[in-house]
A and B are shown apart, each in its own frame.
Chain A
Amino acid sequence: MKRRAWMLAALLCAGCGGEDFGSHEADATAAQDSLNNPTNTGVELIEGLWHDNELVPGEGWHLYHFRPETSGWVSFQMQAPVDHPNLWSYLRIVDPEHNNEVWAGVANKRTNLCEVILHADAGHDYDVIVTSQENSLLINGETQKTDGPYTVAVLPVDVAFEAP
């Protein structure tokens, strides 16, 4: 199985992708989705534990941190209320050291669950950006309002790949 540290599988997402910034020196966490001011929550996520929070207009996206104790596949998940009118879950996982990132936005609004799976390296720091994909600028220049509660977690994943 060929594997790159930032190669991710994004599930349940309408749009998803990854990018190797190569020689770009920009801080990936600050360069993307930076409508309004980003908020560093200071929270260190631990595998299996769910953290609840709320997106508030004017706070921008929320930044979390994850440093796995062991190497392996993990699933980053964000869940927002399924009946929310405009808060659609969106995750961006950033590897600042290697300027790598991957993102996923929810596809199925009946679940409002967004998931990104990646192979994480023990002791390595990952930034976890949580926001709503409905945070674009409107025609009148205002930011679309996407406030509301959500929950986020990193979950262990048992996966097996077979070579074709």
Chain B
Amino acid sequence: MSRPGLSMVAAVLLVACASPPQDAAQVEASTEMSPELAEMNDVSVLLPLPGDEGQIVARVGAASPARGGSLLPREAYEAAFGPPGTLQAGGTPAPAPHDELKLVSFRLDPCFGAACANQIRLVFQPLRVKGGVVSAKDEAVHAFYRLSRDELADAVASMIGLRLEATEERLGPLAPHPLASDDARRAAIEGVVTTFAGAENLSRVTTFTTSGLGSAWNFSGFDINDGQAERVPMVDLPDGTEVVAFFRGFGGAGALVGDPAFSPRSLAAPEDNLQLLGSIADAERASEDERQAAFDALTRIDDPTIHDADSTDCASCHAADPVRRLVGEGLWSLTPSAGVGFVPDGRYLDVEDLAPTSVDASVNLHMFSYAGTQASIHRRTIHETAAVVAYVNEHVL
């Protein structure tokens, strides 16, 4: 796809990313965007939940035909996590059965991790009908697929094309995809996924499960090479760590009273370690300076220009949003220190594009998937997506 003609203005930096700035009109007035450029919902797609059992069955899942085989080959999944029902380290739960995994979201990324790899990432969850309502279990499987730069460009262009077929209006902030409530359009979007991802280019599979009667989340992952599974090294954790967990404690759905909150604890340097704020008790024992340092670390973890999956452990990254809301902001009204925080490239975004659309009052570790019926989109995901939009518009399309 050739790069659309652009009439760029000077970059407008959207400093406040959680809520529109006071002078949003001024930002918009100085921003020029073509509908042929990528938007937030072109590169990060959260599919709406199905409406009933029949729609669940019809959805693309791990076993669906895709590039070079099934979308997530059972053999690779079981090479990583064992046969169905296999408990993981410490008796943490077995990941969901392969047959139950349904695609709920995907993301296109031109620069994943330290290797800055072109990639498409999928999120699968088991879906169920309870009381006539479809919901997702509080767990997820993430699958990672290598792409060439040309493939990534084609995938992004395909998503832009599907949007332009439906509307020339901007789709706004990340949310369940505005166009995917239409079955035909959703199927076309799923077709983009199965075209570019599958057995042929699967590179990694990770999972998070829930234990502690719903109070703990356990993360682990494997790299897949030639069908062989090799455990993903866990950054800033003791050698040999197989599972890293976040425990909210038994104080209720909206309280962080786990002691310890993170197991094992991160060995990251203080400027990159938010874990002090993972437990109210730990935060209370800390000094004001220590709490501020941990909050700045949290803010850095939410900044895709500083941290990625190769520089932050899974539990810290997934817990950052509830820790910020419930402890940092909720109990101590903390804000980032001057100069700390992600600054999006305003050339390609409306300030409204960065607005959060799902604010969960409970402890919700889903960064871009569903907790029950609640669509969950963490701030880190919004920031990453904004960075991807800028990158693909600048360097890929």
Binding site for B on A (CB under 8 A): 41, 43-53, 64, 79, 81, 111, 113, 149-151, 153, 155-156
Contact = CB atoms under 8 A, between A and B. Distances in A.
B213 A48 contact: no
Contacts of B263: 47-49, 155-156
Given A43-B91, A113-B250, A49 B245 contact: yes
21 contacts: A43-B91, A44-B90, A45-B91, A46-B91, A48-B245, A48-B262, A48-B263, A49-B89, A49-B90, A49-B91, A50-B211, A50-B245, A51-B92, A51-B211, A52-B93, A52-B212, A53-B91, A113-B250, A151-B216, A153-B212, A155-B259
A81 B245 contact: no
Contacts of B211: 49-52, 151
Interface string B244-256: 0101001000000
A17 to B, nearest CB: 24
B11 interface: no
B381 interface: no
Given A47-B263, A156-B260, 20 more contacts: A43-B90, A46-B91, A47-B264, A48-B90, A48-B262, A49-B91, A49-B263, A50-B92, A50-B216, A51-B91, A51-B92, A52-B212, A53-B91, A64-B91, A79-B250, A111-B250, A113-B250, A149-B213, A151-B212, A151-B215
A81 to B, nearest CB: 7
B259 A45 contact: no
B247 A48 contact: yes
Contacts of B44: none
B250 A45 contact: no
A141 B352 CA distance: 69
Contacts of B218: 49-50
Interface in B80-132: 87, 89-93
Interface of B: 87, 89-93, 211-213, 215-216, 218, 243, 245, 247, 250, 259-260, 262-264
B27 to A, nearest CB: 45
A49 B263 CA distance: 7
Contacts of B243: 46, 49
A52 B213 contact: yes
A32 B250 CA distance: 29
The 10 closest A-B pairs by CB, nearest first: A48-B263, A51-B91, A49-B90, A46-B90, A50-B212, A43-B91, A50-B211, A50-B216, A151-B213, A52-B211
Nearest to B218: A49
| Max chain B Cβ within 10 angstroms of own Cβ: one of A43, A51, A64, A156 | A51
Contacts of A44: 90-91
A49 B93 CA distance: 10
B87 A46 contact: no
| Max chain B Cβ within 10 angstroms of own Cβ: one of A45, A49, A111, A156 | A49
| Max chain B Cβ within 10 angstroms of own Cβ: one of A50, A79, A155, A156 | A50
A130 B211 CA distance: 16
A113 B257 CA distance: 14
B213 A81 contact: yes
Contact of B90 (A45, A53, A111, A150): A45
Contacts of B87: 43, 51
Nearest to B89: A46
A156 B215 CA distance: 17
A62 to B, nearest CB: 11
B268 to A, nearest CB: 17
Contact of A48 (B93, B215, B260): B260
Contacts of A79: 212-213, 250
Contacts of A50: 92, 211-212, 215-216, 218, 245, 247
B245 A155 contact: no
Contacts of A46: 89-91, 243
